[in-house]
Amino acid sequence: MVKVPTGVTLVVGLGISGRAICRHLERQRVPYMVADTRAVPPGMDDFHAAHPGVVIHCGPLTGLDLAEVEEVVVSPGVDPQTPGLAELSGRVREATGEPLLVGEIALFVRSARAPIAAITGSNAKSTVTTLVGEMAIEAGRRVAVGGNLGTPALDLLADEPDADFYVLELSSFQLETTPRLGAETVAFLNLSEDHLDRHGGMAGYRAAKLGIFRGARHGVVNADDANTWPEARLPAQDSFTTRPPQAGEWGIGRYHGSDWLMHGESPLMPAADVRLAGRHNQANALAALAMGHRLELPLEAMCRVLRRFPGLPHRGELVAEAGGVRWINDSKGTNVGATLAAIAGLGPTLEGKLILLAGGVGKGADFTPLADPLGRFGREAILFGLDAERLERALRGRLPVTVVEELPAAMIQAAEIAEPGDCVLLSPACASLDQFANYQERGEVFRRWVRRHLAEVGA
């Protein structure tokens, strides 16, 4: 049994976030040691070089004596119920009364000297986080953007010490170890099945996400998804919808014969001017506008961003449009909820039909919710990868389905059947690890094939 010395903080996990925690503790002159459940964590030599003299315990956490530990800070990838940590549940630090076990965002909250804007949800949180950050930059504000997206939150404190505010994407893993976020404005965008193995089911997953509201002064929720609403109303609260808005809501209504983004009865900008395609992305734009409004960003600056922002790589990314056919890379759509949002968002906006490319590692998900919207909007579903047959069974009878071995074969089939007005959408509803290193590689294969194909046909 290895004893953690009295007054020493234990950092658990030597991934990207764990190393950011270590850098932060050193800046704060807090004594710490590190533990990792892996026998040989990657990058050990680099860590030793950057942090000479820091003690590292490798292997089961049950081999640690935590009786005198000052605090335990876990990386997001480490389950708080891991043997050796689960026993800390409910214990508090005598000096502060805070939980003994926390995560990186709890440390961030203690040290941040500027307001926090935070975004969570099963899908689209990266898009909305980036939009809010871009809107702030366009408005001339000093902003630091990170968290679950890009730069670890704790590194933002060192990189951007004079920020006017911080914009953070936060996952359920980060929120479950954050006792109180205390943000100026937060958004809970949507909720669909994901990470159920970690949280023990949808109730536990939602409970972790709801942690974003603790101490929040303003919240943005999805009027079309009751699961995103806090258990108790916040001091100030806005909602967004893809329907015509009620008084005070952010929504999409008719103005001068076309659809506009609206705040109550006030028209903001034509929905067609939002460069991101689809109703779901117009909803994302509304959520960002609601948060930006709370942060006192000028409407003109926010709308300029919406007119030019092309989307994040692999998330509703328009790769090309030729011959009246759009090719959209949504490889980051790794769960059913993300793909459902893409189909429901794009389908009603098309003059033609949707050709869906989907498949991979389904993680045991239920694919049947995809059947109804594909029945309405789909020309064909072209399926590939490990769980293609499970997908095919879920969609059978609702639209034509073709099963192929790999993504390139799916794109060849899509090019053969696409008609003007159609959209070819890569939104797999599955993880990528059966055939690709990650979703980014899958999206790159799609991008390269589309551009090469269009060059060959002279489009």
Q: What is the pLDDT of residues 307-361, one digit of tens each?
A: 999 888 999 898 999 999 999 999 999 999 899 999 999 999 899 999 999 999 9
**Which class for 164: exposed (0-12), middle (13-18), buried (19 or more C-beta within 10 A)?**
middle
DSSP string of 129-185, one letter each residue? HHHHHHHHHHTT--EEEEESSSS-HHHHHHH-TT-SEEEEE--HHHHTT-S----SE
246-282 residue pLDDT tens: 999 999 999 999 999 999 999 999 999 999 989 999 9
Which stretches of 296-400 are assigned E, i.e. beta strand?
317-322, 325-329, 354-358, 378-383
Predicted local confidence at residue 49, as pLDDT: 95
**Cross-strand bridge partners of residue 33:** 10
- Identify the pLDDT of residue 193: 78
What residues in the chain have per-residue pLDDT under 70? 459
What one-character-per-residue DSSP string does 18-57 give?
HHHHHHHHHHTT--EEEEESSSS-TTHHHHHHHSTT--EE
SS (H, E, C) 53-111: CCCEEECCHHHEECCCCCEEEECCCCCCCCCCCHHHCCCECCCCCCECEEEHHHHHHHH
CA–CA separation, 58 and 36 (whole Å): 5
Q: Distance between CA atoms of 392 and 367, rounded to whole angstroms? A: 9
Spatial separation of the C-alpha atoms in residues 256 and 261, rounded to whole Å: 12
Give the whole-angstrom CA distance, residue 19 versus residue 104. 10
Identify the pLDDT of residue 459: 65
Count CB-CB contacts under 10 A for residue 364.
10
Please state the pTM of the whole predicted model: 0.89
Most distant pair of Cα atoms in the chain: their distance? 73
Domains of the chain by start residue, with CATH: 2-104 (3.40.50.720), 112-308 (3.40.1190.10), 317-456 (3.90.190.20)
pLDDT given for residue 8 in this prediction:
97
How far apart, in Å, are the Cα atoms of 177 and each of 64, 100, 207, 312, 386?
20, 10, 12, 28, 34
Q: Which of 85, 89, 171, 81 is nearest to 129 (CA)?
A: 171
Catalytic residues: 125, 148, 195
